[in-house]
Chain A
């Protein structure tokens, strides 16, 4: 116990936020088992009910259980943010390593493309893509991925270029390792930790972006429970039932602030610069 206390000294925000995230991830996995009711079961006879034993946080305008919808909402937000993170990291890893390791015209071409995408304000491009593909969850996921991978690719490329010249890579090459082996055994394991730190911050952004797009009506379509969409629905009942829009917003706030606190303290430790 004393050891835990010394280890956590001065790091309690980090510990609390990790705890919050663990809880949210567990909730999103276990939602079907811990939710008291079906999140999309409409029951107009029970609309806008105050909290009760059966509905611990009351019901919404269609008589759906608020708590269940919040719990299932965690699933959508965290699930898709993770998906976007993994997919864009994957693309970024391939492009960044290829670009940095090969160099030459491939590098020039790919990096100019990245520069071009970065010339757009992030969410504007996402909105543009969604606008042209049409509203919908998968369109939003694809659009966010198309924009995010560029930042990973850029960063990975920079790290690969500087690492390529170091002695351990030269040594590996002299001892006869193939390019593929050097990339797999030496470059990728060294590149990943700082990238994961950056990814923690990006997860927060992704969750905000998903909810913002759903709020605008472009992302997740009803009746799927999603925090941003729930806020949007709740605003119509602001005068009588403000909790309908307050709860989901608090959820987003907790999750995103946790990702930010963790990401920031990790990036201080790893010396990774934050992208504003």
Chain B
């Protein structure tokens, strides 16, 4: 197990290096000149001398390979450069905004789990009942509704018409309700289907039959054995859908004016704030990889049968 973990950790390093490399290439390929973008963002009229000075300051006159290693070295030290707009270190901007985004993400995961565990489990146990059909409909809807639209529809009905929840912003628990529902519906769609499929698979197993012939209570077999084992694929789903959650936060934060990291990223795109864009993408990749790693470890812990070879690459 320890060897497996160390192997996995080492496998992560080249991927993160590649992520940095890809961003680096994209920045250099982009028609936007960082020096010009910087001056435009700070409302300074660009003159030739100023541009040259900035280029030198950003190290753009040095050989590309040196620039790349400089970038890697900076990122390893959590130095993501300064934002062109606010002129404060990007890392500082991130750490002030990240808690809001994480709160939103966690509360949506919570909502998703609370809804999809019973729904997925029951729709497998009562296969082809009205509940099963309902959960199927819900999962199709969840997979097909554009999140930004869902957000506005919820605002329209629950904030504007019924006046139950605030339209936007962050503060009280009421502020969490609509964004969390918006963000979690896509996750509910996936988890419900995943859990339903894995419960159906487990029901075919011999131990269920054995339990029944021994005369154990149906409820006990279901909850104690079937459900417990079936949860595991949901964990994989959690890791794999982190990307969806992350992009979801960008859109939901935009809709509900949530003062998080995603909204900052969109603002940065409009301002051509290259250091912010670059660090968001690299950090998102790192977060994605690390969370998948954590999920793998939890799964290994829950189910030691999982062979080392059978695992996905990352």
Contact = CB atoms under 8 A, between A and B. Distances in A.
Interface of A: 112, 115-117, 119-125, 127-135, 204, 208, 211-212, 215-218, 228, 231-232, 235, 238-239, 242, 245-246, 248-249, 252-253, 256-257, 260-261, 276
A231 B247 contact: no
Given A253-B146, A261-B140, A235 B22 contact: no
Contacts of B314: 115, 119
Contact count band on B: 35 or more
A130 B146 CA distance: 20
Interface in B4-36: 15, 18-19, 22-23, 26-27, 29-32
A76 B280 CA distance: 29
B140 A276 contact: no
A212 B143 CA distance: 14
A231 B148 contact: yes
Given A132-B274, A249-B153, A212 B269 contact: no
Given A119-B288, A121-B246, A128-B277, A212 B147 contact: yes
Contact of B247 (A124, A228, A261): A124
Interface of B: 15, 18-19, 22-23, 26-27, 29-32, 140-141, 143-149, 152-153, 155-156, 160, 190, 194, 237, 240-244, 246-247, 250-251, 254, 265-266, 268-270, 272, 274, 277-278, 280-281, 284-285, 288-289, 313-314
16 contacts: A120-B22, A121-B284, A132-B27, A132-B277, A133-B30, A133-B31, A134-B31, A211-B146, A216-B254, A245-B149, A245-B152, A249-B152, A252-B146, A253-B144, A257-B143, A261-B140
Nearest to A231: B149
A46 B35 CA distance: 46
Nearest to B141: A257
B146 A217 contact: no
A248 B146 CA distance: 11
A132 B30 contact: yes
Contact of B146 (A112, A212, A246): A212
A231 B152 contact: yes
Contacts of A248: 149
A135 B270 contact: yes
A122 B146 contact: no
Nearest to B284: A124
B29 to A, nearest CB: 8
A125 B281 contact: yes
Contacts of A242: 156
A115 B19 CA distance: 10
Nearest to B246: A121
Contacts of A133: 30-31
Contacts of A122: 243, 247
Given A212-B251, A245-B156, A257-B144, 9 more contacts: A120-B284, A122-B247, A127-B265, A128-B277, A134-B30, A134-B32, A204-B143, A231-B146, A252-B146
Contacts of B22: 116-117, 120
Given A132-B26, A132-B27, A135-B269, A238 B156 contact: yes
A123 to B, nearest CB: 4
A270 B29 CA distance: 41
B152 A128 contact: no
A242 B194 CA distance: 35
Contact of B148 (A135, A212, A238): A212
Nearest to B191: A276
A131 B156 contact: no
A148 to B, nearest CB: 14
Contact of B242 (A121, A130, A132, A134): A121
A217 B270 contact: yes
B284 A218 contact: no
Contacts of B143: 204, 256-257, 260
Contacts of B156: 238, 242, 245-246
Contacts of A119: 15, 18-19, 285, 288-289, 314
A48 to B, nearest CB: 17
Sorted nearest first, the 5 A-B pairs with minimum C-beta distance are A121-B243, A249-B149, A123-B247, A131-B269, A128-B281
A153 B278 CA distance: 26
Nearest to A204: B144
Contact of B280 (A128, A208, A215): A128
Nearest to A238: B156
A124 B268 CA distance: 13
Contact of A249 (B31, B146, B194): B146
Contact of A228 (B31, B146, B313): B146
